[in-house]
Structure 1
Amino acid sequence: MDRRSAKTKQAIKQAFLDLTKEKPINKITIAELSQQADIGRGTFYTHYEDIYDLRSKIIEESICILTDIFDQTYPKKEQYDFRNFVHALVNHVDENKAVFHFFFNDFMDDELSAQLTHILIKRVLDEEQLDEKDIKNKVEVLFSISGITNVLAEWSSGHLKVEKDELITILDDIITRF
């Protein structure tokens, strides 16, 4: 993809994310999104079929990035430090608050956050080679991942007012005690 196309897609994405802070997705029009992104309507349709295609692409991209973070930082058998994964998640959320506000904002149903939580739970169960039918394993992983995703949701939405470094310190303390 050339730089101009990438820049246009980024402008569309940012305009969409800004608009989702103000209203539900079904109330966003291509016209207002195009105006916000400073592009023509035709340019939008060059890249996306409709608002829901754009939404889907943002979700796919975010999940791909989170999966990469998981793969790069989740503790392998020889290392048992879950904190690296959590630090990477907090840093990524901090750098991409608009995307995570979209994932967890008040206008969305719980579909996105549930999808994200489910993917992370599945990845942990697979990585740890845990039997997901074992209720103790499932509850432990669900508890851990749900806790982290809910803390990040509250933080990215501005409901949890704490600086990034302090949040990392608090999560480190919780992980160490757990």
Structure 2
Amino acid sequence: MIIMTTKAEAFQQTDQLIRQTFIELGASKPISKITISDITRQLGMNRGTFYLHYIDKAALITAIETDFMTQLTEILDKEIGETMHIENYYAGFPYPMLTEIFELIDQQRALLKLLVGPNGDPYFIIGVRELLLKSLLQQVAHLKGQAGFRGDLPDNYVGEIIVSGILDIVMIWLNEAKPISKAAVIDIMMKTRFLSPYQLLGLPDNKKTSD
């Protein structure tokens, strides 16, 4: 049985090859040093074929980043009705949004290591940070009926503390030589959302108990 490939399918396959080759090249050189010639040479493709897909390298990078951000946004928007209840933490149930997010990160690990690495795109992580903060405020508004965190602390400080904590864990997981499992990193994320810094230090509880 012969399976015919349509022009649209062939175009899509070529597009995926261009993107994958760009990511592979990023493992050995900075994004700024990757050229269209590098991509076409590795694929055995003429430059004209590349230009049928992207007008330049910047357009390729933008398309790749936009696709990831779209997927992340869909997860965040879909789960907006669910909240991080402390009961789920104590019961050992992972937050559904975290499960989907870490599955996406794991699937796109090579791409993300390239984009957020020292030779990646510094604007990409800024966009992710802004998206997470926006989602966080939406979650709070859903729970409280209004956006905003605590009345005794500035919102920008609280938001930065929460989002930075999330991104720090993601960065550690991305850069581990032998990454722990998705279940393990999700467990860490859940615990660190509910434990105080004092509890994370593992210091003894000095509260006096009555006789």
Cα distance change, pair 165–98 in 1 and its aligned pair in 2 (3 A)? same
Superposition pairs for residues 2-13 of structure 1, below 5 Å? 2-13=8-19
- Cross-structure match for 1:86: 98
Task: Return the index of the structure with the highest Cα Rg.
Answer: 2
- Cross-structure match for 2:203: none
Asked if structure 1 preserves the Cα contact closer than 8 Å seen for 2:115 and 2:124, the reply is: yes
- Write out per-residue CA displacement over residues 73-104 of structure 1, whole angstroms, 9 at most, x where no aligned residue: 2444xx44482222211111011112211221
Aligned residues: 176
- Write out per-residue CA displacement over residues 1-25 of structure 1, whole angstroms, 9 at most, x where no aligned residue: 8221111111111111111222222
Tell me how far 1:160 sits from its aligned partner: 7.2
What RMSD, in angstroms, separates the aligned Cα atoms of the two structures? 2.5
Asked if structure 2 preserves the Cα contact closer than 8 Å seen for 1:73 and 1:88, the reply is: no
Cα distance change, pair 148–159 in 1 and its aligned pair in 2 (3 A)? farther
- Counterpart among 71, 74, 78 of residue 72 in structure 1: 78
- Counterpart among 118, 128, 134 of residue 106 in structure 1: 118
| Paired letter, 2:36 | I
Instruction: Indicate the larger mover: 160-169 or 52-61.
Output: 160-169
Cα distance change, pair 175–38 in 1 and its aligned pair in 2 (3 A)? farther
Question: Does residue 1:146 correspond to 2:164, yes or no?
Answer: yes
Q: How far, CA to CA, are the matches of 2:101 and 2:64 in structure 1?
A: 17
* Higher share of residues assigned helix: 1
Structure 1 unaligned spans of 5+: none
Asked if structure 1 preserves the Cα contact closer than 8 Å seen for 2:23 and 2:114, the reply is: yes
- Counterpart among 60, 67, 92 of residue 61 in structure 1: 67
Could you tell me the TM-score, scaled by structure 1's length?
0.85
Asked if structure 1 preserves the Cα contact closer than 8 Å seen for 2:129 and 2:163, the reply is: yes
- Write out per-residue CA displacement over residues 107-150 of structure 1, whole angstroms, 9 at most, x where no aligned residue: 02532112210121122213423248x75333233222222122
Q: How far, CA to CA, are the matches of 1:71 and 1:137 in structure 2?
A: 21
Cα distance change, pair 136–75 in 1 and its aligned pair in 2 (3 A)? farther
Superposition pairs for residues 109-120 of structure 1, below 5 Å? 109-120=121-132
Structure 2 unaligned spans of 5+: 1-6, 86-93, 142-146, 197-211
Asked if structure 2 preserves the Cα contact closer than 8 Å seen for 1:74 and 1:84, the reply is: no
Matched residues, percent identical? 23
Cα distance change, pair 10–127 in 1 and its aligned pair in 2 (3 A)? same
- Cross-structure match for 2:207: none
| Paired letter, 1:153 | M
- Cross-structure match for 1:51: 57
Asked if structure 1 preserves the Cα contact closer than 8 Å seen for 2:75 and 2:100, the reply is: yes
| Paired letter, 2:129 | T
- Write out per-residue CA displacement over residues 148-170 of structure 1, whole angstroms, 9 at most, x where no aligned residue: 12221232233573222211222
- Cross-structure match for 2:26: 20
- Counterpart among 166, 186, 191 of residue 168 in structure 1: 186
- Counterpart among 136, 143, 149 of residue 124 in structure 1: 136
Cα distance change, pair 75–21 in 1 and its aligned pair in 2 (3 A)? farther
